[in-house]
Every structure is written in C-alpha cells, then in structure tokens.
Chains A and B, each alone.
Chain A
Amino acid sequence: MGIIHGEEMVLNIGPQHPSTHGVLRLKVRTDGEVVSDIYPVIGYLHRSFEKHCENVTYEQVIPYTDRCDYIASMNNNLGYAVTVEELMGIEVPEKVEYIRVIVSEFNRIASHLLALGTYGLDVGAFTPFLYMFRDRERILDMFEMVCGARLLYNYIWVGGVSHDLPKGFVETAYQFLDYFEPQVKEYNNLLTYNKIFVERTADVGVLPPDVAINYGVTGPNLRASGVKWDIRKDEPYSIYDKFDFDIPVGRGELGTIGDCWDRYWVRMREIEESVKILRQALKGLPKEGDVHQAIPKKIRPPKGSIYKRTESPRGDLAFYITSDGKPKPYRLKMRSPAFTSLSVLNKISRGWMLSDVIAILGSLDIVLGEIDR
C-alpha cells in the first residue's frame, strides 16, 4: 500500500477574493484538501507603468510610482527620487534627508500595520485588524497634514520634498510615538502569542534561507528566514547610516526558522525599530533649511544608466533608469519586491492544506499594484 492518490482537482481562487490581497488569481491543484501545485495568475492590475514612464517627464513619473505600491507610497517616491538624484549627482540638503527618513519610516509602520492587521484577518482574528487600522489612520492623518494626501502622496521629489513639514508636526509625531509604543505590546498580547494564531502560523510554510536567496526574496520575508540583509544597513542610502537600529531576523521562537509566524514577528519587530529610527530622526531634524533649494529647474540627467536599490517595507525596491539626455527617461525598470515574494509561493505551499495557503499568502505580504505595475 502506497500513498492513496485521489482525483486531482483544479480550484480557482480569485481574482475577486478578499484574502488574496488584491486582484490575484491562484490556480490551485488540489488532491483532496492537500495542495500539490499553485500557479499564480497575475496581470489584472497591469497599467504598463514602465512603458508609460517613457512618455512622461522625470517629475511626472513620481505620481505613477505612488500607484505601484500604494500601501507605502512614500518609500516608492524615495526610491525613485534617490535613483534620479544619483544619476544627476544632486546633493540634497540635510533637512530634506531627515524629512524623507521621517515620512518613509512612518509609512513603513503604516504599511506593516496593514500587513499584520490583514494577516490577522486572513487567519480569523478580526479585532487586531480594527485596532491596527485605527493606529494607521493616525499616521495617514499626519501625512494629510504634511502633503494633503492620505494615500498617494507625490511628496518626495527629485532634489527635495514638495512642502516643508507643517507647524506642529514634530509635536504631533512625538505624541503619536508616545501613544503607539504601548500599543505594540497590546498587539502582541492580543494576536502574536494567541495560541490559536500560533497554531495556524508556526511551522507552516517554512521558507528556508537558501530557497529564499535563490528566488530573490528580500525584505522581511528574507530576514524571517534568518538572513540578516537590510539595504538600510548594508548599502545605506539617504542618511540611514546615521541612525542606530537593529535588523530583526527570524529565530524560530515558536516553530521553525522561516515559518509564517516568523515572517509576522519580523514585521512586528521592524515596527519597533522604525519607532527607534523615528525618535532619532525627529531629534536630529534641523530647524532651518530650504526644502526646495536643491530641486533642479529642469530634470535632464546626463547620458547613462543607473541601478539603485532601496529598502521598501516589502523588500528590495530598485529602479533601473537609462537616460539619453532628454527630459523623458529612455527606459525605466522597476524591480518590485512583492513579485519575487509571490514567486516563491508555489515552492513553500506545496503539501499544505488549502486553508494554510491563505495563511502563507498573507504572510508574504504582497501588494498587487506593485506586482503587476
């Protein structure tokens, strides 16, 4: 008697399904309830970002980068702005660098809160989702104060930022951080150590470090597998080398290294690290300085190409820009971290139950706007 093989069935999940985090369709080959193969079908949100960038000027690309990873638009703006600045050789004033770090770390917290909240929702916990959204709302309110928009900011420009920080922003930010730090403990009590949640996530969907590296997985998903790799530390851009923070890595505390719980836990600890960076950045923020000083009148990079990567909340976000000396990019390629995270789904969810696939997919924290571009 070998293993009994039943009749295999192909099941479609999506594209309109609440737990696929966007318009993602999964073709799942199942044997009973056990998943034997997953084929993600993407492209429902394809907007032809890269081709479109060839037809707009360098400034006009920024609103489009907002719409790639719409959960963390500030980090996308920053990645693009840093790349073009390096291509043009622009020195950015210190104040601008501090503002950029502040807004992008706030956005990292907001993005992780959304990821963790919806992950709780995926495995059946509704309350943490509401609490996390409540706190994310306060961050969005702060962004509204800074640039008027709540989700798609167009705030970080090449050479500067669109507006200086408003009056009273620093006080509001401190107030938020003082309020927020105890909340993290509450989330941990509510969700992280909850036995039901741990049973659903620990030891599930283990992503070994070698597989993660081979697939090009980056960001929290890679760090959860125990690989200490963070662009902010290893290849510092902007002024991240000035700040003192740790890189949380998965240690397999409640299961195996690289399981779903580790991916969740790395994000939770990254929120704490972001709070640490924010406190240092708010302290060091220069009072004087013109945020528009280094903005070039016309963005016309010299001929050449550049590849620069930055650490977005989802991982290694990189832009490859080729310039032919004209006001429009000759070619713009975006490397999106969520795409590589999704590509590893088939590998790590084979042999798990169908309901575990939802847990594994949620732990990868994908944003379809960035995958399809």
Chain B
Amino acid sequence: MTKYFQNIWETVTTLLTGFGITWVHMMKIKKNNVTLQYPEEKWPRPERNIGFNHDDYNVIRSRLTVDINDCIGCLKCMRACPVDCIKIETVKADVRGDDIQDVGHVGITSNGSKKAMVVTRFDIDMTECCYCNLCTYPCPEECIFMTGGPNADRHHIDYEFSEYDRTDLIYRFAKKGTQEKMAKLMAPKEPKVKA
C-alpha cells in the first residue's frame, strides 16, 4: 500500500520538476531563443582572420572554386580526390609562360610561375563532391579552394548553393576559346627536331 502511494508521489513530483524546467525555459524564450527564421536570418559562419597562413585561414566546406588563371595543370587535385569528381585535360603550351589570347590562357600565375600547360577542361561535379577538402591541400598555387579559403575576397560565398537542374552543379572552369583556335591548340604537334 505504501508502495502504491509512493509511486503516485514520485510520478507527481518528477513530472512537476520537468514541467518546472520547461516553464523556466518558456519564460526565458526571448533571451535564450536559439531558433533562426531561416530565409530571413542565416547562420553566421565562424569568423577567423582570413589570410594565407594556415593559422588564420577560414575553412568553410562549401563550393569548390578554381582561379583558372593561376592553375598550372599539375593534376594534383585530380589525383587527391577520393571520388574522382574533378576532371582536367591539358595541352602542352608552345612556349612556356606565354599568353595565348585566343583561348584566354594566361602564361604566368599570380605567384610568378610560368605555365607549361594550357588547361582545356577543368570540370568539377559538385553533385559527386564529398566535401573532404583533400584537393585543396596539395595545390602548389593555392588556386583550388572551397569558397572561403585564402582567396575568399575574390569570390562571394554561395550560401544556399542550389540549382534547379542537376547538370547546373557541374562547374566548368576552363576558359572557352573559339572552336578553330581550340582545334589548333589541341592538334597533334610536330615533334621538335634538333638541328
């Protein structure tokens, strides 16, 4: 019999304790509100001093972006990718470090290295990307990064990053030249004969 009343007592007291806690939270709802009304408000990204140093470099796992003018076509990012979502094709340039105006090829990167390769295709399929960030570390020119990387000031950060069509999520970074010029660029070259 005592057990019976003890049970009732325990139930009532523990329930009231729980109600008390939720009541206190309800009273503090203005102060302690954590819900954000998404389309009007957005989650702030963690802030850091954005810079080239690895200590103060804001890492955000978002869309992969390539500064194609800086890309030397070394294929290191393609090899690092665990899901093979980066596809690069290159052609050897005639003269190392020269600009090729017709296809928008810039010969010298912002770090000052002369390019030996013309990138004719640089596609990243973001539907396949697993956001592991592994491709950004081996890049010698730091030209591939998740937006928010060292070159964040050059690109705006795409917050929603959504498209209506799946194919729109394949980003093509290589510059397009006219068809003739491209064909000329990609044509098999005559072997250099040493005199």
Q: Could you say which of A64, A144, A186, A194 contacts B46, with CB atoms under 8 Å apart?
A: A144
Contact: A149 with B54, CB < 8 Å?
Answer: no
Residue of B nearest to A164 (CB): B55
**Chain B proximity of A116: nearest CB distance (Å):** 15
**Bound-state Cα–Cα, A189 to B132, Å:** 40
For B58, give the chain A residue with the smallest CB separation. A148
- Say whether, besides A64-B82, A137-B34, A195-B7, A162 and B48 are in contact (CB < 8 Å): no
Q: Interface size of B by Cβ–Cβ distance < 8 Å?
A: 34
In the complex, which residue of chain A has the Cβ closest to the Cβ of B21?
A: A190
Q: B71 on the interface (CB 8 Å rule)?
A: no
Check A166–B34 contact: CB distance below 8 A: no
Interface residues of A in 48-62 (CB under 8 A from B): 56, 59-62
Query: Are B61 and A194 neighbours in the complex by a CB distance under 8 Å?
Result: no
Are A167 and B56 within 8 A (Cβ)? yes
Interface hit among B11-19, B90-98, B110-118: B11-19
CB neighbours of B34 from chain A (8 A): 134, 137
Q: Considering the chains assembled together, what is the distance between the CA atoms of A186 and B32 in angstroms?
A: 15
B46–A145 contact, CB under 8 A? yes
How far apart sit A149 and B59, CA to CA, in the bound complex (Å)?
8
A167 and B18 alpha carbons, distance in the complex (Å): 39
Inter-chain contacts of B45 with A (CB < 8 A): 144
Pair B10/A195 contact, Cβ less than 8 Å = yes
Contact of A56 among B10, B21, B82 (CB under 8 A): B82
Q: Is the Cβ of B59 less than 8 Å from the Cβ of A147?
A: yes
Interchain nearest-CB distance for A56 vs B (Å): 5
> Do the beta carbons of B59 and A63 come within 8 Å of each other?
no
The residue in chain B whose Cβ has the minimal distance to the Cβ of A168 is B48
Residues of the A chain whose Cβ atoms lie less than 8 Å from the Cβ of B137? 162
The answer to whether the Cβ of B134 comes within 8 Å of any Cβ in the partner chain is yes
- Which residue of B is nearest A60, CB measured? B82
Say whether B73 faces chain A, with CB atoms less than 8 Å apart. Answer: no
Contact of A149 among B25, B131, B134 (CB under 8 A): B131
Complex Cα distance A145/B131, Å?
A: 16
Residue-wise interface mask of B (115-126) relative to A, using a CB-CB cutoff of 8 A (1 in contact, 0 not): 000000000000
Q: Tell me, in angstroms, the Cα distance from A134 to B101 when the chains sit together.
A: 55
Asked if B106 is at the interface (CB within 8 A of a chain A CB), the reply is no
A194 to B13, CA, bound (A): 9
Contacts of A61 in B (CB 8 A): 82
Instruction: Report how far A189 CA is from B18 CA in the complex, Å.
Output: 6
* Contact B55 A127, beta carbon cutoff 8 Å: no
Contact status B148-A148, CB under 8 Å = yes
Query: In the complex, which residues of chain A have a beta carbon less than 8 angstroms from the beta carbon of B80?
Result: 59-60
By a CB distance below 8 angstroms, the chain B residues around A256 are none
**Given A59-B134, A62-B132, also A148-B56 (CB < 8 A):** no
- Partner of B14 from the list A64, A141, A195 (CB cut-off 8 Å) is A195
22 contacts between A and B (CB under 8 A): A56-B82, A59-B134, A60-B80, A60-B134, A62-B132, A63-B82, A63-B134, A66-B132, A131-B25, A137-B34, A141-B46, A144-B45, A149-B61, A149-B131, A149-B133, A152-B132, A154-B132, A166-B48, A167-B49, A189-B18, A194-B17, A196-B15
Q: Which residues of B contact A (CB under 8 A)?
A: 7, 10-11, 14-15, 17-18, 21-22, 25, 34, 45-46, 48-49, 54-61, 80-82, 130-134, 137, 146, 148
9 shortest A-B CB distances, which residue pairs? A148-B59, A60-B82, A63-B132, A145-B46, A195-B11, A154-B132, A149-B61, A148-B61, A195-B14
